[in-house]
Structure 1
Amino acid sequence: MKRYKVYKDIRKRAVIMGLPISLFALMMTSVIGSLLFIIFSFNLLVIILVFIFNGGLYTALTQLSKHSALLHFKKVFPTTICNKRESQLQYEEN
């Protein structure tokens, strides 16, 4: 009888080849662009440099996805907006 493993990681992000979807899309855009570059300027040095560039980009993106704190930026807008005064200074005369 066949046994099925319960999938418990339903809340994790979707990952393709070890990259989140947005970084995978960036990687595929780079691969397609480099293929076009190879087709229109066919040279052995260009082919080697493109493979090195794509390999370096892949390793850099996997490191960034493992250490996601490097991409964490402070939010620009506050989560709540309130009219309450935050200081005790009186700017208006009563």
Structure 2
Amino acid sequence: MRTFEVYKNIRKRAVIFGLPISLFAVMMIAILASLLVIIFSFSFGMIIGVLIINAALYIVLTRINNNPQIFQMAKAFPRIISNKRNSGFDYEQD
């Protein structure tokens, strides 16, 4: 009889095949699009190419999931923290 491990990380976000729900949805859309390509093209090379592209997409999405700092362009914290309303004027000398 099989034994199943109890999922104790209930407070963490949901993961399917190692991807969060949003990245899993991107993967499923890519798979559906590739199935349409396979159905309407009868080339063996196209089928192999689509399989390679889907595998590469899965690898890229798992890397993005494991290292989200890759796409972070802005700084994490602002230069100045203040409750004063920002008027848009800069009075200091350059």
Could you say whether these structures have the same fold, taking a TM-score greater than 0.5 normalized by the shorter chain as the test? yes
Give the RMSD, CA atoms, in angstroms: 2.9
Cross-structure match for 1:83: 85
**Consecutive unaligned residues in structure 2, runs of 5 or more:** none
Q: Which has the larger radius of gyration?
A: 1
Q: TM-score, normalised by structure 1?
A: 0.70
CA spacing shift, 1:41–1:81, aligned 2, 3 Å: farther
Matched, 1:26 2:20: no
Deviations 1:25-71 (A, max 9, x none): 00000000000000001110000000000000000100110011113
Cross-structure match for 1:10: 10
Q: TM-score, normalised by structure 2?
A: 0.70
Cross-structure match for 1:56: 56
Percent identical residues? 45
**Consecutive unaligned residues in structure 1, runs of 5 or more:** none
Separation in 1, partners of 2:7, 2:14: 17
